[in-house]
Structure 1
C-alpha cells in the first residue's frame, strides 16, 4: 500500500484494506499456538501444564518485541507522514539493532534464572525438567523467534500489511507441518515430546527471518548502515521514548499472568492446564481485534504526523464500534461450542469442566477488551505511551488480580474466572473515557491553532 493512501483514501475502507491481510496472517499465526497446544495436550496433563507455565515467560519477551515494534512503528510512520524517508530509514535501522540487544539480554537473564522464575510461578520440582526442555532452546534462539516481529513493524509503518501477514502465515504453516514430526517422531527423527514443539517453531522462524530481512532491506529500502553516534542517539532516544513504556505496558500482561498462574496453581495442575488452553483459545477469539491493533497505529501515526486529526478520531470510533459487534457474535459461537472445544483439548474431566466454565464467562468481556487493546495501540500511535502504561496498570493490578483473588475467595475457581471477566468490562469503560479525553484535547488544540488539515471532502468520502 502506498503511504500516501493512509493520508488521503477514505478512512473506513483504508482500515479494512489494511486489517484484512493482517487478519489472514493472524489466523495462521494464532493457529500456530493452537496447534502447539493441541499436539502437546496429546502428551498428557503434566506436559500440558508445563507448557502452560511457559506462556507468561515467552510472552514477556514477545511483549518487549511488541513494545519496540510499537515504538518503531509510531516514529517511522509519523516521520513518513512528515514526508522524510531518509530519517524514517534511520529510525528503523537503529531501532532494529537496539531491539536485538534488549531482547537477547532479557532472554539470557531468563536462561540464567530459569528454575527460580518457574518455582516462583508455582511450578513443582517435577515440572521443572519438562519446562526446561521447552524453554532452554526457546531462550537461546529468542532472536530468531522474535526479531521478525520488529521487521514486520517497519513494513506496517510504511502502510504495507500484506507482507507481514504472508510472513506470519508461512511461519505458521511450516510450524504446523513440523510439529507432529518432532513431537512424536517419524522414521529417523526421534520423538522429542515437548522439546519437539519448540524445535519446529525455531525452524519456521528461520524462514520468516530470511523473508523479513530481505523485504525490509531490498524491497522497502528501510535498513541502512554507517550512521553517526549523534544519529544513533537521536533515533534510539525517539524510539525508546515510546518503545520502552510500550514494552513495559505489554510486559505487565505476562507478569500479571504469572501471578494469576500462581493463584490458579493453588487449584491444581488441572486448573493450570485448563487456563493454558483457555488463554490460547481466547487469543484466537480476539484475533480480529489483534489484527486491527496492528493496522490501526500506522494509520493513526501517519495522519497524526500530517495533522489529519479528524481522520484519527473517525478511525478510532469506527474500529471500536465494529469490534463490539464482532466480539458479541464470537461469544455466541463459543457459548454454543464450548463443550466440543474443551473435549478436543483435554480428556481429563476436571480440565474439561474448567475450560467450559472459562469459555462461558471470559468472552463476555471481549468486546470491552477490544476497546482496551485499540485504545492502548492508539495512544502509543499518538506518542502518548505513559497514558497506555497507566491504563494497563489499572487493568491488571488495580482490577484483574484483586478481582480474581476476591472472586476465588468467594466462589472458588468459578469466582476467580468471573473476577477476571468483570475486570475486562470495567477496563474497557475506563479506556473509552480516556481516549475520548485525549481526542478532545487533540482536536481542541488543532482548532485553536486553526491548522486542522482535514477537509469536509475527505470526511464525506465515507
Structure 2
C-alpha cells in the first residue's frame, strides 16, 4: 500500500477515535461543573468518588483493546464469523465484569471512600462521596459494554459510530444531570443517577449496533448466547493488558504520593501539569487505536510487510503529533497555567512542568504508538512484563526526587521539574526502550498471525 493511502487510513481511524476519547472526559467535567454549584463539600465528595470510578474503568480498558485486536486479526484472516463471535463474547464479559464491580463497589463504598480520604475526611464530604459512588455504579455494566462494543467496531475499522454515540451521550448527560440535580432536587445523587442512565443507554446503543451488524453479516440464526470458551478466552487474553495497565496506574499513584511530599504548591502545580498531560495523551491514544486496528487486520491476513508499514507510518505520526503538541504546550505554558490557578508561585511552577512535558511529548507519541502496535499484534504478555520492568526501572528515579529534589520557598518550580523529568522522561523512556526493542524483532509478527 502506498504511503499516502496508508496515511489516509490512519487519519480516517484516528480522528474519529480522538473525538470519542475527548467526549468521555466531558462526563466528568459536566458533573464537576453542575455539582460544584451545590457546594464545596459536594464537589470534594465528587472528587473522591470519581477518582475510584475512573480508576476502575481504566483498569478494564483491556475490554476495548483485546476486542479491537482479536476482531481485526480474525477479519484480516477471512473469518468474520469467528471475529464477531469474539466480539459478542467480549461484550458478555464486559457485562459480567461490570455487574460484579457495581455490586462489590456499592457494598464497600463507605470503606473505599474512607480509605481514599484518610482519617481527616469530614463526615459530610464522605457522605456525599458515598452517595455519588452508589448512584453512579449501576452504570458500570453499561460503561464496560461501551468499551467492549467500541473495541469490536474499531476492529471492523469503524471509529465513527463510537464518536457519534459518545457525542450524543455527553449532551444528554448534561441535560439529564441538570434536571435530576436541580429540577428534581436530588442533589449529588442526581448527578450519579443521570450519568449511570446515560452510560447504560450508550452501552445498549452500541451493543445494538454490534448485534444488528452481526445478524446482517452472518444471518438471524447466529447465536448471541455467550460462549464459555470465548468469554474465558477473552478474560485470559485480557489479563496481561490488565497487569500492564495496573503498572501504569501504580506509577501514576506513586508519582502523586511523591508530589505530596514536595509541598502544597508543587502538589497543586503537579495536578495542573498532570491534567494537561492526560488531555494531550488523548491525541496520541487516537493514533495508537489506529495502529491497533490496522496491525491486527494486517497480521490476520498474514501480511507482515503491511504490518511493518503501519508500524513505520504510525511511529512517524506519533513523533510528529508529539512534536506539534509539545510546541503548543511550550508556547502556551503560562496562559494555560493561569487558567488553573491565580497564585503566582503555583502558576510559575506549573508552567515549568509544562515545559518539561513539552520536550517529552515526541517521546510519548512514540511510546503510545508502540503500545498500540503490540496490542494489535496480541503481544499482551510482553507488554505486561515490560510494564513491570518499566515500573521497577522508574522507582530509583522516584526515590531520587523524593530524597534529593529541592524543597522550600523559591524552589517550587525546580521541584516540579524534577518530578516530571522522572515521569515524562525516565519512566516513558523505560517503556519506550522495551517496546522499541520488541518492535525491531519479529516475535510480535509471529504472534499476530494465527
TM-score of the superposed pair, with normalisation by structure 1: 0.80
Q: Is the 8 A contact 1:74 1:380 kept in 2?
A: yes
Q: What is the CA–CA distance in structure 1 between the aligned matches of 2:223 and 2:10, rounded to whole Å? A: 33
**1:78 aligned partner:** 73
Rate the CA distance shift 1:176–1:62 in 2: closer, same or farther, 3 A: same
Match of 1:320 in 2: 315
Which aligned pairs between 1:291-440 and structure 2 lie closer than 5 A? 291-346=286-341, 355-399=350-394, 402-409=396-403, 410-412=405-407, 414=413, 415=415, 418-440=418-440
Task: Specify whether residues 369 and 95 from structure 1 end up closer, same or farther in structure 2 by C-alpha distance, changes over 3 A only.
Answer: same
Superposed CA deviations along residues 314-354 of structure 1, whole A, max 9, x for unmatched, are 21222222222222322333334344444444567776566
Query: C-alpha displacement at 1:118, in angstroms?
Result: 4.3
The answer on whether the counterparts of 2:73 and 2:296 sit within 8 Å (CA) in structure 1 is yes
Match of 2:24?
29
Cα contact 1:151–1:213 (8 A) shared by 2: yes
* Equivalence map 1:258-269=2 (5 Å): 258-265=253-260
For 1:159, what is the secondary structure of its paired residue? coil
User: In 2 relative to 1, CA 440–282 (structure 1 residues): closer, same or farther, beyond 3 Å?
Assistant: closer
**How many residues are paired up?**
434
Match of 2:8 in 1: 13
- Residue 216 (str. 1) matches residue 210 (str. 2): yes
State the distance in 1 between where 2:42 and 2:342 align: 14
Please give the secondary structure, in 1, of the residue aligned with 2:61: helix
Taking structure 1 as reference, are residues 77 and 9 closer, same or farther at Cα in structure 2, changes over 3 Å only? farther
Paired residue secondary structure (1:411): coil
Query: Measured at CA, do residues 433 and 268 of structure 1 come closer, stay the same or move farther in structure 2, by a change above 3 Å?
Result: closer
1:23 and 1:373, CA in 2 relative to 1: closer, same or farther beyond 3 A?
A: same
User: Where do residues 26-105 of structure 1 align in structure 2 (5 Å cutoff)?
Assistant: 26-38=21-33, 50-105=45-100
Asked if the contact 1:92–1:154 (Cα under 8 Å) also holds between the matched residues in 2, the reply is yes
When structure 1 is superposed on structure 2, of 199-208 and 315-324 the one drifting more is 199-208
The answer to whether the Cα contact below 8 Å between 2:353 and 2:420 also exists between their aligned partners in 1 is no
C-alpha distance in 2 between matches for 1:305 and 1:220: 19
Which of the residues 198, 205, 210 maps onto 2:199? 205
Residue matched to 1:171: 169
CA contact (8 A) 1:245 1:386 kept: yes
Q: CA deviation at 1:220?
A: 4.2
RCO higher in 1 or 2 (8 Å CA, sep ≥ 6)?
1
Structure 2, unmatched stretches of 5+, are none
Tell me the CA shift for residue 402 of structure 1: 4.7
Q: Which runs of 5+ in 1 are unaligned?
A: 1-5, 447-451, 453-462
Distance 1:443 1:396, change over 3 A: closer
SS at match of 2:441: helix
Q: In structure 2, what is the Cα distance between the partners aligned to 1:306 and 1:260?
A: 42
Q: Which range is displaced more, 78-87 or 50-59?
A: 50-59
Confirm whether residue 251 of structure 1 aligns to residue 246 of structure 2: yes
> How far 1:291 moved relative to its partner?
1.3
Distance in 2 of aligned mates of 1:325 and 1:142: 36
Residues 303 and 309, structure 1, Cα contact 8 Å, conserved in 2: yes
Question: Contact 2:73 / 2:299 at 8 angstroms: preserved in 1?
Answer: yes
Report the counterpart of residue 125 of structure 1 in structure 2. Answer: 121
1: CA distance, partners of 2:177 / 2:348: 27
CA separation of 1:174/1:280 partners in 2, compared to 1, >3 Å: closer, same or farther? farther
CA contact (8 A) 1:361 1:417 kept: yes
- For the 8 Å contact 2:95–2:142, the answer to whether it is kept is no
| Equivalent pair of 1:292/1:374 in contact (CA under 8 Å) | yes
